[in-house]
Amino acid sequence: MEYLKHPHHVELVLVDALEIARLNLEFRNLDKSTDVLSFPLEMPGHTLLGSVVINIDLALQESQARAHSLLDEIALLFTHGYLHLLGYDHERDQGQQRILEQEIIAHFNLPLSLMARTELT
């Protein structure tokens, strides 16, 4: 699992739905809430890779609706955001992020991935 061997730190920030909507508008020009945002930090010589911001309101709602723990939901969201910090982009790549996300999910025995959920709706 090469992606787990990066000697970097990641900041995890839990916010409510209103705050993540504000961040989404400010940084992505999308006027809506979302589940997770990633903010890479590009400073050579620093071990902080960036920040993963999670909508705790939506994480709680999803964990209850899908009958798994809040911690598992946060782990799913963090995994998705972490891969974005590493430079993966499921909207542009050829499935690499999806493959790695599935590998991590299987390794940690987590519930259905975010991308798989999207395909079901």
Which residue, 51, 68, 60, is CA-closest to 113?
68
**Annotated binding site, which residues?**
80, 84, 90
**Annotated binding site for Zn(2+), which residues?**
80, 84, 90
Under a CB-based contact definition with an 8 Å cutoff, are residues 91 and 19 in contact?
A: no
How many other CB atoms are found less than 10 A from the CB of residue 12? 13
Which residue, 61, 105, 23, is CA-closest to 114?
105
HEC assignment per residue over 50-112? EEEEEEHHHHHHHHHHCCCCHHHHHHHHHHHHHHHHCCCCCCCCCCHHHHHHHHHHHHHCCCC
